[in-house]
C-alpha cells in the first residue's frame, strides 16, 4: 500500500479497522473481519458463539464433501450445509433491513443480503483449502467455486443454487446500464467485499435520514481501505452536510493524493474551489 496515503484518525473502537487497513488483502479472513466490523456497533456481544458456529459449518462441510476437489461437488456441499443444514438464505421479505448487512445479525437470523451470505460461503470454502471467490455482478453478488477446470458459479441468496450461462447473462442484462453493458464479471478483493458490506449499510442509513450513521460507516471504510477514493468522496460530502468544512477539505485533499483518475480529480478540485477559505 502506498506510503503517501494519510492515516485516518482512529476512534477508540477502530483498532480492528486500522489492522484491516494495514494487512495484505489476501491475509483477510472474510467472515472474521465481517464479524469484527459488526462488533463495532455491538461491543457488548460475545463473539465466541459465532466463531464456534463458523467452526461447525466448516466441520459439516468437510464431512459433506469428503476429499472431493471437483468444483460441482464442492458447490453442492456448500448449498447443503449453509442453506439446508444451517438455514442461511436470502431475506426476500425485508431485503432492505440493515441487519442483513451486519454479520452478527445475519448469523442470528439466518437471513442476509447476497454479499453477507457470500462472505459465509467463501470463507467456509477457503477454510477447507478450496478455491472460492466473491463475484461482483451488477446489482448482485455471486460466488465462484473452483479454478481452471469446470468452475461453478452459485447464488448464496438463492440457497446456493447453480448459476448457468443463461442466468448470468440475464443478470448482467437486467442490472448493467444500457449505454455501457457489462459482459463479464470479476472476482472481488477481500477489502472490496467488506466495503460492499458497509456500503449497503451506509446507503440504507442515508435513505432512512440517518446521515450521521452513514458518515460513521464511510469513516470506517476509509480506515479499513484508505486507498478507496469513493468512500473519501462520500465522507467529504456528508462532512459538508454536517457543516464540518475543515474535515471535508482534508478528505477531499486525500482523494487528490490517492487517485490519478482525471474526472474524479477535476470534480474534487472544483469542490475545493467552492469551499470557503480556511
In terms of domains, do 230 and 126 share one?
A: no
Residue 165 has what pLDDT? 87
Residue 192 has what pLDDT? 96
In terms of domains, do 39 and 119 share one?
A: yes
In terms of domains, do 237 and 148 share one?
A: no
Q: Is 220 exposed, middle or buried (0-12, 13-18, 19+ CB in 10 A)?
A: buried
Among the three residues 158, 187, 216, which one is the final residue of a domain in this structure?
187
In terms of domains, do 131 and 255 share one?
A: no
Among the three residues 126, 155, 187, which one is the final residue of a domain in this structure?
187
In terms of domains, do 162 and 203 share one?
A: no
For the chain, the domain total comes to 2
Residue 274, Cβ neighbours under 10 Å: how many?
8
Residue 270 falls inside a structural domain? yes
Contacts of 197 (CB under 8 A, 6+ apart): 34, 37, 101, 103, 115, 116, 119
Residue 6 falls inside a structural domain? no
In terms of domains, do 52 and 139 share one?
A: yes
Residue 8 falls inside a structural domain? no
Residue 9 falls inside a structural domain? no
Residue 265 has what pLDDT? 95
Residue 200 has what pLDDT? 96
DSSP calls for 215-248: HHHHHHHHHH-TT-HHHHHHHHHHHHHTT-HHHH
In terms of domains, do 167 and 259 share one?
A: no
In terms of domains, do 139 and 107 share one?
A: yes
Where residue 138 sits, what CATH number does that domain have? 3.10.620
In terms of domains, do 114 and 206 share one?
A: no
Report which of 147, 143, 153 is spatially closest to residue 193, judged by C-alpha positions. 143
In terms of domains, do 164 and 197 share one?
A: no
Question: What nine digits make up the cell of 263?
Answer: 474526472
Alpha carbons 111 and 75: distance in angstroms, whole number: 19
What is the domain range of residue 183? 15-187
Residue 15 has what pLDDT? 78
In terms of domains, do 43 and 156 share one?
A: yes
Residue 178 has what pLDDT? 61
In terms of domains, do 167 and 266 share one?
A: no
pLDDT digits (tens, 9 = 90+) for 204-229: 999 999 999 999 999 999 999 999 99
Specify the length of the chain in residues: 278
Residue 4 falls inside a structural domain? no
Grouping H, G, I as helix, E, B as strand and the rest as coil, residue 144 is strand
Q: How does pLDDT run along the chain (278 residues), one tens digit per residue? A: 333 344 434 344 467 788 888 899 999 999 999 999 999 999 999 999 999 999 999 999 999 999 889 999 999 999 999 999 999 999 999 999 999 999 999 999 999 999 999 999 999 999 999 999 999 988 899 999 998 778 999 999 999 999 998 888 888 887 666 666 666 788 999 999 999 999 999 999 999 999 999 999 999 999 999 999 999 999 999 999 999 999 999 999 999 999 999 999 999 999 999 998 87
Among the three residues 129, 157, 187, which one is the final residue of a domain in this structure?
187
Residue 3 falls inside a structural domain? no
Residue 10 falls inside a structural domain? no
Report which of 126, 53, 47 is spatially closest to residue 86, judged by C-alpha positions. 53
Where residue 209 sits, what CATH number does that domain have? 1.25.40.10
Look at the alpha carbons of 186, 206, 250, 226 in this order and tell me if their dihedral is positive or negative.
negative
Amino acid at each position: 500500500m502506498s506510503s503517501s496515503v494519510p492515516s485516518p484518525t482512529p476512534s477508540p473502537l477502530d483498532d480492528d479497522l486500522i489492522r484491516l487497513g494495514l494487512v495484505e488483502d489476501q491475509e483477510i479472513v472474510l467472515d472474521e473481519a465481517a464479524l469484527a466490523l459488526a462488533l463495532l456497533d455491538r461491543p457488548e456481544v460475545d463473539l465466541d458463539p459465532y466463531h464456534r458456529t463458523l467452526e461447525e459449518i466448516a466441520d459439516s462441510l468437510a464431512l459433506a464433501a469428503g476429499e472431493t476437489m471437483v468444483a460441482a461437488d464442492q458447490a453442492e456441499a456448500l448449498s447443503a450445509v449453509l442453506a439446508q443444514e444451517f438455514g442461511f438464505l436470502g431475506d426476500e421479505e425485508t431485503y432492505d433491513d440493515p441487519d442483513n448487512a451486519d454479520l452478527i445479525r445475519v448469523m442470528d437470523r439466518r437471513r442476509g443480503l447476497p454479499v453477507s451470505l457470500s462472505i459465509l460461503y467463501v470463507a467456509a470454502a477457503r477454510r477447507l483449502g478450496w478455491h472460492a471467490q466473491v463475484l461482483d455482478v451488477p446489482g448482485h453478488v455471486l460466488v465462484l467455486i473452483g479454478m481452471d477446470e469446470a468452475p461453478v458459479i452459485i447464488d448464496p441468496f438463492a440457497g446456493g443454487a447453480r448459476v448457468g450461462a443463461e442466468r448470468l447473462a440475464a443478470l448482467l442484462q437486467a442490472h448493467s446500464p444500457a449505454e455501457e453493458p457489462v459482459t463479464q464479471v470479476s472476482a472481488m478483493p477481500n477489502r472490496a467485499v467488506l466495503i460492499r458490506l458497509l456500503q449497503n449499510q451506509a446507503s440504507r442509513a442515508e435513505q432512512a435520514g440517518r446521515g450521521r450513521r452513514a458518515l460513521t460507516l464511510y469513516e470506517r471504510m476509509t480506515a479499513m481501505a484508505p486507498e478507496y477514493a469513493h468512500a473519501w468522496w462520500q465522507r467529504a460530502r456528508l462532512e459538508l452536510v454536517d457543516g464540518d468544512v475543515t474535515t471535508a477539505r482534508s478528505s477531499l485533499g486525500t482523494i487528490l493524493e490517492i487517485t490519478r483518475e482525471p474526472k474524479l480529480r477535476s470534480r474534487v478540485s472544483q469542490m475545493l474551489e467552492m469551499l470557503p477559505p480556511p
